[in-house]
Amino acid sequence: MDPYALPPGHTGAAQDHPSPTKRRRVAPPPPSSSSSVDPLAGPVTTLPAPPGSLQPAQTAVHIQPPPLATLPAPLALLSLAVSLRASAHALLPSLAKRPSASSNSSQARYAHAWADYSRLQHALVAVLRAAVTLTATASEYAGGRLELRACAMLAQQLVDMYEGSGHEKIVAPEADRALARAISISQSHPSLAPYGPALSLLHLRLALFSSKPLKYIRTTLRRLLASLSSPSPSPTAAAAAAAAATYSAHAFAASLPGASLAERLAAWDSVVSLAQQHRGGAQGPDAQVLGVALLASARLALKAEDYPRCAALLDALRDALPGEDTDGRGAAWPPRVVRVQDRLVRCLYHAQVGDAKAAKETLKEAHRLLDAAPGADRSGEMDEVAVLVGGPGTHDTATLHFKVPPQSTLYPFAFLASAAIHLDPQGKTPRAQLFGEEGVRIVEQRLNGREVSLPVPSLSSITTTLHRSAALKSRLHLLLAALSTLRSDYPAAEAHLAHAVRVARAHADAGEADDDDATETETESDLAGTLAPVALAWALVRCARAAREGKDEREAQRALEAVLDATARGPRPTTAQGAHMRRCAALSLLLLRLGNPGLAADGGVTSTDALARLLTSSSSSALPAASSPSSPAAAAAFPPRTSAPARLATALASALTVGSITASKTALSQALTLTNQMGATHARAGVLALLANVFLWTREGEAQKMLASALRLASSFGSAAPHRTVDGVPVGHARLSLWLGERLAGRPPLSPRARRELPREPQRRGAPRRAGARQPRVQGDAREGGARRGAAGAGAAGGCQDGGGVKGGRDICRARRERWVGTLDLTRGRRELLVGSV
């Protein structure tokens, strides 16, 4: 029930009354706009998508206004309130477009629009107060539906008008009194009882508005759920209303601030179970509610990194969203925005499990839907979807409205997903760079006020939309910085990071930020959540410079340890984003330590063994080598329990720290399979180089082919000639693995005991050994407990004993190593090139 709609029998509002807007036409908005708020129809929840917010449900109002003189006074006041609200909402797009600082006319138009909006809002509150007073004092209206509607409308208007303004506590008592009166009226007569659940949800929103304790809100919500009767499977109007109230309560529980991912998933699971039980006539379960709930659950499962559950939900969602959209317009249900979100969630799932081909195909479908011409209903411009509860072929139905991000929000997010999935540094102009730059251009137009993100449901949503656009721009700059780092274009990477920091600081007080742990939007008091990825990206740039140019190693170590410390002691260290940053920082620091063992002893806080344990224990649920999926089809049949990047980091850490050459080869082979499935060309080059160092002493031909392939890949990663930082080096950052393997292949100094046990004269390869001769043992580097058992280090240090005996003396080992290093140098023939061209 819409509190702004009129009771049955009166379907009009005034059309010829004096307009309070002075020559501004007072008319209802077009059907595509959101013009009224319905607190009595249940809460609005956020569908799976980039950041959404919990707002009251909004519906379009279609009114044929009769003259006010023919209506009773309370109805005339309520009709005037509807007209004033429609006029105020029509001004929101003008307020969302920021005025130009150099244009006086633009600033004057904005000031005039703001004055009109403020006057209309205050007039609306005055009219509703008059309606509340009139219905309370007139005996024929006191305690009836009109007084209930007037009180609910006043409470709703006060919440919408002052939300996010800083004056919530000033108007909260008045809104609370009006809502308490409405709840009391609904409990006074059985015919008004259906208003109770919706008013209770509005009371919960008012509690959030006035910053009441979350314990009180949770307790009130539990009481509401306990008071609601179980929906009957029979297709009746009462059953549909009861089901709608129960759906709304569970959806509100899923959107509470501070709720964990497990609690939110449990709430949506309750909606799925109820939708499967409630029958809508001959049409089976509530298909539309079921589709929305499955989509929300799939997104939450993806955020929680519960990939088997996400795969099962997506399979069920494929049957719950009927009717493939072939031309971008499709049927009335599901709307195009729901289809786009379904494609984006599937795309991100495939990317996380390592199926790059399926992710790219699904992403193409999402772009096709976004680029298609808008349909007649223009559903792409709406920020809500109407969901029927009950049989669509019967009249015993109810309607729920769910908040969804409109196409103006999904469009730049699709470019962000495209840049992340196509993160391939090969070529003169990689596709990821094109996607990222286009996404930055679109977002900049909105931040600069040249383009407005429609629709604009409320005044507080303008600031929220700006902040989300700023967060999206920061992430796009981070992706471009990562791409520039892979291409060894460090000045461009640092410039992108500087842009990301400036955007984050400029919009730090915008109000709301994307949160992956609690709600979709949550106020953030500091810049830690926004700047932590920037700090990690800057540390990786320092690490790459240290590997390529042989400097800044200690600075890179300090930056990586700072990221590890921040993610360990942060306010939300268990989020997926925090775990991913922690893995990246730990793996980068491990590679840096193995490349320069002196860093651990010179100011290192975290030991190398601790880093190895962190990487191998964080993915303890990863599939073992014997059961690892060797193809995308196998991965789809048996979804992994950890993401592909996490499994890749674990495989690399195991290969570099395990004490067996065979286990190191197995781990690197598994890492190579993952890079092929993920389409990670930059990681494939590094894994091939490490595999070549492991096979150095046993299968030189294979190692030669691996190194040649790694060099061919790395040579295509370099940036354009005008942007090079080191002249004459034809390879890019992927050669870090070659440099690391060469360092690990360097034989450590032998202990005096081992030196005495060496034979006096070197034996030739294949020469017979004396029976019973004592074989020397090559000691590892005692300064690095984990590094001495590294994959490449074990292959080099144990190369002279592979096969069960000494294959030559120390001089022969050194000669073979120098000969092999000479084969690595395919460009200049100097060993220094290998170290200086990372």
**Overall residue count recorded for the chain in this entry:** 838
| H helices, E strands: number in the chain | 32, 6
The confidence score (pLDDT) of residue 512 equals 41
The confidence score (pLDDT) of residue 352 equals 92
Confidence of residue 233 (pLDDT cuts 50, 70, 90): low
The confidence score (pLDDT) of residue 375 equals 62
Give the residue from 60, 55, 4, 63 showing the smallest Cα distance to 34: 60
Q: What single letter denotes the amino acid at residue 2? A: D
Give the residue from 128, 102, 97 showing the smallest Cα distance to 113: 97
Pick from 2-16, 133-147, 156-170, 579-593: least confident: 2-16
Distance CA 62, CA 47 (A): 26
The confidence score (pLDDT) of residue 82 equals 92
| Contact (CB, 8 A) for 774 and 796 | no
Q: Are strands 56-59 and 384-389 parallel, antiparallel or unpaired?
A: unpaired
| Contact (CB, 8 A) for 778 and 797 | yes
More confident residue, 550 or 46: 550
* Structural Rg of the chain based on CA atoms: 32
Average pLDDT, the chain: 72
Confidence of residue 638 (pLDDT cuts 50, 70, 90): low
Q: If you average pLDDT over residues 584-605, what whole number do you get?
A: 75
Pick from 381-395, 488-502, 623-637, 810-824: least confident: 810-824
More confident residue, 500 or 772: 500
Residues 452-484 pLDDT 10s:
777 788 888 888 888 888 889 999 999 999 998
* Domain coordinates in residue numbering, the chain: 1-28+63-212, 231-371+384-405, 422-451+461-525, 531-615
Q: If you average pLDDT over residues 499-512, what whole number do you get?
A: 73
Distance CA 742, CA 746 (A): 7
Confidence of residue 367 (pLDDT cuts 50, 70, 90): very high
The confidence score (pLDDT) of residue 794 equals 33
Give the residue from 226, 168, 224, 160 showing the smallest Cα distance to 198: 224
Orientation of helix 700-715 relative to helix 736-745, angle to 10°: 150
Please name the helix (run of DSSP H) or strand (run of DSSP E) that holds residue 56, with its range, or none. strand 56-59
Q: What single letter denotes the amino acid at residue 722? A: P
Please state, in angstroms and as integers, the Cα–Cα distance from residue 114 to each residue in 19, 102, 449, 452, 710, following that order.
Answer: 17, 19, 16, 16, 61
Pick from 619-623, 689-693, 802-806: least confident: 802-806
Pick from 298-302, 534-538, 543-547: least confident: 543-547
Reply yes or no on whether the pLDDT at 248 is more than 80.
yes
The confidence score (pLDDT) of residue 585 equals 85
**Cis omega before residue 455 (within 30°)?**
yes
The confidence score (pLDDT) of residue 575 equals 63
More confident residue, 780 or 443: 443
More confident residue, 588 or 117: 117
Of 559-568, 670-679, 701-710, the range with the highest mean pLDDT is 670-679
Residues 737-759 pLDDT 10s:
555 555 545 545 455 655 555 44
Confidence of residue 807 (pLDDT cuts 50, 70, 90): very low
Per-position b or e across 731-747, b if 16+ CB within 10 A of its CB: bbbbbbbbbbbbbbbeb
First to last CA, the chain: 66
* 3-class state of residue 592 by DSSP: helix
Reply yes or no on whether the pLDDT at 611 is more than 70.
yes
Q: Which fold has domain 231-371+384-405?
A: 1.25.40
Which residues on neighbouring strands pair with residue 279, listed in sequence order?
A: 285
Confidence of residue 155 (pLDDT cuts 50, 70, 90): very high
The confidence score (pLDDT) of residue 377 equals 52
Please state, for a pLDDT cut of 90, what percent of the chain lies above it: 24
Please state, in angstroms and as integers, the Cα–Cα distance from residue 517 to each residue in 191, 525, 570, 575, following that order.
Answer: 42, 16, 13, 6
The confidence score (pLDDT) of residue 65 equals 56
- Residues near 492 by beta carbon (within 8 Å), at least 6 away in sequence: 480, 481, 484, 719, 723
Confidence of residue 564 (pLDDT cuts 50, 70, 90): confident
Q: What is the dihedral of CA 713, 714, 716, 720, to 10 degrees?
A: 170
The confidence score (pLDDT) of residue 537 equals 86
pTM for the full predicted model: 0.75
Tokens standing for residue 678: 């993920």
Residues 307-351 pLDDT 10s:
999 999 999 998 888 755 444 444 567 888 899 999 999 999 999
Confidence of residue 119 (pLDDT cuts 50, 70, 90): very high
Q: Which 8-state DSSP code applies to residue 46? A: B
Confidence of residue 395 (pLDDT cuts 50, 70, 90): low
Please state, in angstroms and as integers, the Cα–Cα distance from residue 449 to each residue in 385, 407, 452, 500, 820, following that order.
Answer: 27, 18, 7, 19, 60
The confidence score (pLDDT) of residue 783 equals 36
Tokens standing for residue 671: 């890492």
